[in-house]
């Protein structure tokens, strides 16, 4: 058989063999050492034993700058094509060695603040980081000559810089708190600035931290979502509600419509913070509302003043709706456990839950009317669910009564048959 | 002359029924210490009759499309008068029918009633058990709920392991690449038309063979049976069977009233499979065994090897009347008793262990 004929006949086999053959060299590559930029710098540094000189070169394999070919020379200068170390690291050829801490923001900004350059690599990447950094407390400290203040590499790392979206990156949402904590939870480091160091501990007890780390909700806020990242600064007391309102939009809108908005603005007091706290924000409970124990309204109002009366009425309205909803849920669940299909009741429970959520948001208006408009609907829906549960209970009783009658009739028939069999066989 | 007599005479003159009546009047059931085992066949038949009646009633409201199936079963359970009862009895009766069929099969096996000349009765019985599994598998998907959907996906996926024709079989069974509305429609067709037709034919043959050949007396019990006068099939055995059927009816009613069959949540083909998917209990021993197989054994895919082993055992089981030569000669056959005991212990053991969560 001619080779051409054989190839024609076995074309699928040949194609498969070719594909495997072509794929083998790619499979043979080791992924760990994909250093594509760096030239002679890496060639030498990777062979050095001294960790200080070897490790940065090794770490660069994973660096986000490595893949597009931005090698050591981009930050350190010098001539990566030169084989001779003296020539490669010749200051006359622009070699600058390790940049000084004060120079780092400008060095990074050299590329990252350059629109035209950055767009070549990542068109969607912002280029205002340097400008923002200069407005931050960190940037201002650096500008004033404070070497302990954070620069780009304090948060992003150096030589092994990863994309923000990389879950291993120190600036990935779940790691931000640890990154900030490296300085802000260090009492000795923070002492000269007179700022507290318990924010991280408090934040880790908050509902936001729980959402971020336990429910893996990456949209939950961490340090930089409230304080900013490159332009990091503590939010001013008067602007706290704007910060919270970034996510809790409706709560902020309703608060602005409330009788509380003006006095809080006049006092220059942080509105959200006054009731919910700041770093250690707990899951809000209905007990915060009203004039009872644990209610925040009682912190400012007396039960006799109009505000106190309204707060008490709002608290009572919420309490009634929640109580009815809980009862309805329990009774519907009980019917479901007994095998009843309760899809109508489930719809009502869903409606009650929706109205309760709305009522809780309306609480920020501090208006009894606004809250009751929703709690009354929640109560009405819960009542319908309770009625459905009561109907299910009646149905269960009817079924069991019917079963008793059926079993009695069957028993009579069995007895009659047994007697008849005995009579026949006697 | 009573109406009944007139009707009988009318039929007798045309179809000569007298010999049939004569046969029925003289038909006897042997009596011995294991005579209770004779009731399981009838008990299985009772559950099958219940299935037919309740199935026809469910057909009045059930809609076999992916869009409407779940809602129609929900409608049956909540809006149709006694719909909950009919559906619950249909589901419970399906399970009790298979349980009863297992008891019947093992009692036949231990009494060696399959031996010559009753090979065809055994074979039609085996085929009917396979059909009952088919009824269970196809009916499980019909409510179109989450558990059934994913269990069917896993179950149908197994046929793809069959060498050479696996993919083709999978497409035929599913009506496409994946479990979709097309699968539901064809499972419905199989469940309400194909399987009942085959079952009716096999059941007719099975009953005909039993009536024609009479009831078998196990080896070793012939003397005891000869000493005791036989039980008249009509009316003594029939009335006893009626008592058993009434007990079955009572059990069904109690189960339906106290444990209405669950509906679950509607299947969402785009959702990820829920944890702990399991097939119906009668497939559990095979399901768990296949899971225990390593991924590959001597280069052969473990699941394929497992399915091959079960197929081999199935064929062996089917051919027992031919393989057990001692029973065919009317001699004791302890080997096949031990084989039966081992099979029973394995099936029961794996099923119980699966329910206890040992494999999860």
Q: What is the value of ipTM here, to two decimals?
A: 0.89
pTM, full prediction:
0.72
Please name the member of A403, A420, A421 whose beta carbon is closest to the beta carbon of B254.
A403
B244 near A CB under 8 A? no
| Residues B74, A403: C-beta atoms closer than 8 Å | no
| Residues B246, A417: C-beta atoms closer than 8 Å | yes
The Cα A335–Cα A341 span in angstroms is: 8
Beta bridge partners of A254: none
**Per-residue pLDDT for B25 more than 50?**
yes
Q: Which two tokens stand for residue A210?
A: 């729980």
The per-residue pLDDT string of chain A (426 residues; one tens digit each, 9 = 90 and over) reads 455 565 566 655 555 555 555 444 444 443 333 444 567 788 888 888 888 888 888 888 888 888 787 888 888 888 888 888 888 888 887 888 888 888 899 999 988 998 888 888 888 888 899 999 999 999 999 999 998 999 999 999 988 899 989 999 999 999 999 999 999 999 999 999 988 999 999 999 999 999 999 999 999 999 988 888 898 777 655 567 678 888 899 998 999 899 998 888 888 776 788 888 888 888 888 999 999 888 999 989 998 899 999 999 999 999 999 999 999 999 999 999 888 999 999 999 999 999 999 999 999 999 999 999 999 999 999 999 999 999 999 999 999 999 999 999 999 999 999 999 999 988
pLDDT in the model for residue A425: 86
- Going from the C-alpha of A350 to that of each of A315, A343, A358, the distances in angstroms are 22, 10, 12
Name the minimum distance, in Å, from the CA of B159 to any CA of chain A: 26
| Residues A414, B74: C-beta atoms closer than 8 Å | no
Residue found under tokens 């299985």: B44
| A244 Cβ contact list (under 8 Å, min separation 6) | A226, A251, A252, A272, A276
Instruction: Specify burial of residue A210 (Cβ count, 10 A radius: 0-12, 13-18, 19+).
Output: middle
Q: Which of A405, A417, A419 to mutate to test the interface with B (most CBs of B within 10 A)?
A: A417
b/e code B4-18 from CB counts within 10 Å (16+ = b): eeeeeeeeeeeeeee
- Going from the C-alpha of A329 to that of each of A59, A352, A353, A386, B235, the distances in angstroms are 56, 10, 10, 8, 56
B80 near A CB under 8 A? no
pLDDT in the model for residue A11: 58
Chain A residue with CA closest to B230: the answer is A425
Name the minimum distance, in Å, from the CA of B260 to any CA of chain A: 5
Q: Please report residues of A whose CB lies closer than 8 A to that of B85.
A: 399
Chain A residue with CA closest to B249: the answer is A410
| Residues B243, A425: C-beta atoms closer than 8 Å | no
Chain A residue with CA closest to B235: the answer is A421
Q: Please report residues of B whose CB lies closer than 8 A to that of A418.
A: 243
| Residues B78, A420: C-beta atoms closer than 8 Å | no
Instruction: Specify burial of residue A420 (Cβ count, 10 A radius: 0-12, 13-18, 19+).
Output: middle
- Going from the C-alpha of B259 to that of each of A38, A150, A407, the distances in angstroms are 72, 66, 16
Chain A residue with CA closest to B79: the answer is A341
DSSP string, A106-124: HHHHHHHT-HHHHHHH-TT
pLDDT in the model for residue B277: 84
The Cα B12–Cα B1 span in angstroms is: 15
pLDDT in the model for residue A24: 46
The Cα B35–Cα B217 span in angstroms is: 9
Q: Give the CA radius of gyration of chain A.
A: 35
Chain A residue with CA closest to B233: the answer is A421
| Residues A403, B257: C-beta atoms closer than 8 Å | yes
Q: What is the pLDDT of residues B30-81, one digit of tens each?
A: 999 999 999 999 999 999 999 999 999 999 999 999 999 999 999 999 999 9
| Residues A414, B243: C-beta atoms closer than 8 Å | yes
DSSP string, A150-184: --HHHHH-SSS---TTSTTSTTSHHHHHHHHHHHH
Q: Which two tokens stand for residue B333?
A: 């056959």
Stretch among A62-76, B89-103, B188-202, B342-356 having the lowest mean pLDDT:
A62-76
Q: Please report residues of B whose CB lies closer than 8 A to that of A346.
A: none
Q: Which helix (H) or strand (E) holds B300?
A: strand B300-301
pLDDT in the model for residue A6: 57
Domains of chain B by start residue, with CATH:
1-28 (no CATH), 38-95+111-277 (1.20.810.10), 279-360 (no CATH)
First to last CA, chain B: 69
Please name the member of A403, A407, A421 whose beta carbon is closest to the beta carbon of B236.
A421
Q: Which of A410, A412, A418 to mutate to test the interface with B (most CBs of B within 10 A)?
A: A410
Please name the member of A339, A418, A424 whose beta carbon is closest to the beta carbon of B243.
A418
The Cα B214–Cα B38 span in angstroms is: 12
Q: Please report residues of A whose CB lies closer than 8 A to that of B249.
A: 410
Q: Which of B31, B78, B247 to mutate to test the interface with A (most CBs of A within 10 A)?
A: B78
Beta bridge partners of B231: B29
Chain A residue with CA closest to B264: the answer is A341
B253 near A CB under 8 A? yes
| Residues B254, A414: C-beta atoms closer than 8 Å | no
The Cα B49–Cα B245 span in angstroms is: 11
pLDDT in the model for residue A5: 63
Q: How many CB atoms lie within 10 A of CB B271?
A: 11
B246 near A CB under 8 A? yes
Across B89-112, average pLDDT: 97
DSSP string, A190-214: HGGGT--S-HHHHHTTSHHHHHHHT
How much of chain A is helix, strand and coil, in % rounded to 5?
Answer: 65, 0, 35
Across B315-338, average pLDDT: 95
B211 near A CB under 8 A? no
Please name the member of B77, B236, B262 whose beta carbon is closest to the beta carbon of A425.
B236
Please name the member of B247, B257, B262 whose beta carbon is closest to the beta carbon of A400.
B257
Given a contact cutoff of 8 angstroms between Cβ atoms, the answer to whether A75 and A107 are in contact is yes
Q: Which of B75, B240, B246 to mutate to test the interface with A (most CBs of A within 10 A)?
A: B246
Given a contact cutoff of 8 angstroms between Cβ atoms, the answer to whether B114 and B327 are in contact is yes
Q: Which of B74, B143, B250, B259 to mutate to test the interface with A (most CBs of A within 10 A)?
A: B250
Domain locations along chain A: 306-394
Q: Which residues of A touch B (CB under 8 A)?
A: 339-341, 343-344, 399-400, 402-403, 406-407, 410-411, 413-414, 417-418, 420-421, 424-425
Name the minimum distance, in Å, from the CA of A402 to any CA of chain B: 9
Beta bridge partners of B232: B28
The Cα A347–Cα B263 span in angstroms is: 17
| Residues A407, B239: C-beta atoms closer than 8 Å | no
| Residues B246, A402: C-beta atoms closer than 8 Å | no
Locate all alpha helices (DSSP H) within A214-342, ordered by sequence.
Answer: 223-227, 240-245, 249-256, 261-267, 271-276, 306-337
Q: Which helix (H) or strand (E) holds B231?
A: strand B231-232
Name the minimum distance, in Å, from the CA of B243 to any CA of chain A: 6
Determine phi and psi for A187, rounding to 5 degrees: -60, -40
DSSP state of A303: T
pLDDT in the model for residue B298: 84
Q: What is the pLDDT of residues B165-179, one digit of tens each?
A: 999 999 999 999 999
| Residues B259, A424: C-beta atoms closer than 8 Å | no
Total residues belonging to chain B: 360
**Per-residue pLDDT for B301 more than 90?**
no
Q: Work out the mean pLDDT of chain B and round it to a whole number.
A: 94
């Amino acid at each position: 058989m001619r080779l051409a004929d054989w190839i024609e006949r076995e074309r699928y086999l040949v194609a498969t063999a070719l594909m495997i053959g072509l794929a083998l060299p790619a499979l043979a590559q080791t992924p760990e050492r994909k250093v594509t930029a760096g030239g002679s710098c890496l060639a030498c540094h990777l062979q050095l034993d001294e960790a200080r000189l070897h490790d940065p070169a090794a770490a660069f394999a994973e660096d986000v700058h490595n893949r597009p070919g931005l090698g050591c020379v981009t930050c350190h200068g010098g001539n990566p094509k030169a084989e001779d170390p003296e020539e490669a690291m010749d200051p006359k050829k622009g070699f600058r060695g390790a940049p000084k801490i004060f120079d780092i923001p400008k060095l990074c900004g050299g590329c990252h603040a350059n629109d035209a350059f950055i767009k070549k690599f990542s068109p969607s990447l912002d280029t205002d980081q340097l400008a923002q950094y200069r407005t931050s407390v960190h940037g201002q400290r650096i500008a004033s000559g404070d070497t302990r203040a954070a620069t780009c590499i304090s948060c992003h790392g150096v030589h092994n810089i990863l994309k923000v979206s990389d879950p291993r990156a120190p600036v990935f949402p779940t790691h931000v708190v640890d990154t900030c904590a490296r300085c802000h939870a260090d009492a000795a480091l923070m002492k000269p600035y007179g700022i507290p160091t318990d924010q991280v501990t408090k934040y880790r007890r908050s509902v936001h931290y729980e959402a971020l780390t336990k429910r893996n909700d990456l949209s939950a806020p961490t340090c930089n979502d409230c304080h900013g990242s490159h332009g990091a600064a503590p939010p001013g007391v008067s602007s706290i509600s704007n910060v919270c309102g970034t996510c809790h939009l409706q709560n902020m809108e309703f608060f602005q419509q409330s009788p509380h908005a003006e006095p809080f603005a006049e006092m220059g007091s942080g509105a959200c913070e006054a009731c919910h706290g700041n770093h250690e924000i707990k899951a809000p409970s209905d007990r915060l509302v009203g004039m009872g124990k644990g209610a925040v309204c009682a912190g400012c109002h007396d039960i006799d003043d109009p505000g106190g009366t309204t707060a008490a009425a709002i608290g009572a309205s919420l309490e009634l709706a929640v109580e009815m909803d809980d009862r309805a849920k329990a009774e519907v669940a009980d019917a479901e456990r007994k095998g009843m299909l309760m899809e109508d009741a489930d719809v009502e429970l869903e409606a009650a839950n929706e109205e309760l959520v709305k009522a809780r948001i309306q609480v920020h208006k501090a208006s009894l009317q606004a809250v009751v408009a929703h709690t009354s609907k929640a109560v009405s829906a819960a009542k319908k669910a309770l009625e459905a549960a009561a109907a299910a209970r009646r149905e269960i009783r009817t079924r069991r009564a019917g079963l008793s009658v059926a079993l009695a009739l069957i028993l009579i028939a069995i007895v009659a048959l047994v007697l008849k069999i005995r009579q026949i066989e006697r | 002359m009573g109406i009944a007599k007139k009707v009988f005479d009318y039929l007798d003159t045309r179809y000569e029924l007298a010999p049939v009546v004569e046969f029925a009047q003289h038909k006897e059931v042997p009596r011995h210490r294991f005579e209770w085992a004779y009731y399981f066949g009838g008990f299985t038949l009772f559950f099958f009759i219940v299935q037919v009646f309740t199935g026809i009633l469910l057909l009045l409201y059930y809609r076999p499309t992916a869009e409407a199936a779940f809602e129609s079963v929900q409608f049956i359970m909540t809006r149709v008068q006694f719909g909950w009862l009919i559906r619950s009895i249909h589901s419970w009766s399906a399970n009790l029918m298979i349980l009863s069929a297992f008891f019947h099969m093992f009692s036949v096996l231990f009494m060696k009633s399959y031996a010559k000349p009753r090979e065809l009765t055994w074979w039609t019985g085996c085929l009917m058990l396979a059909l009952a599994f088919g009824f269970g598998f196809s009916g499980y998907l019909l409510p179109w709920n989450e558990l059934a959907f994913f269990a069917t996906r896993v179950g149908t996926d197994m046929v793809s392991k069959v060498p050479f024709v696996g993919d083709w079989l999978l497409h035929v069974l599913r009506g496409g690449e994946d479990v979709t509305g097309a699968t539901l429609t064809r499972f419905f067709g199989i469940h309400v038309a194909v399987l009942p037709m085959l079952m009716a034919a096999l059941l007719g043959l099975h009953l005909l063979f039993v009536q024609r050949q009479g009831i078998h007396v196990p080896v070793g019990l012939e003397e005891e049976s000869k000493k005791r006068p036989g039980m008249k099939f009509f009316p003594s055995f029939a009335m006893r069977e009626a008592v058993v059927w009434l007990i079955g009816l009572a059990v069904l009613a109690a189960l339906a009233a106290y444990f209405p069959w669950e509906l679950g949540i509607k299947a969402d083909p785009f959702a990820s499979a829920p944890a702990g998917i399991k097939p119906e209990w009668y497939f559990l021993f095979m399901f768990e065994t296949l899971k225990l197989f390593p991924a590959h054994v001597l280069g052969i895919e473990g699941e394929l090897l497992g399915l091959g082993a079960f197929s081999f055992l199935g064929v062996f089981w089917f051919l027992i009347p031919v393989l057990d030569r001692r029973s065919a000669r009317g001699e004791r056959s302890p080997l096949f008793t031990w084989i039966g005991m081992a099979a029973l212990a394995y099936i029961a053991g794996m099923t119980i262990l699966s329910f206890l969560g040992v494999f999860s």
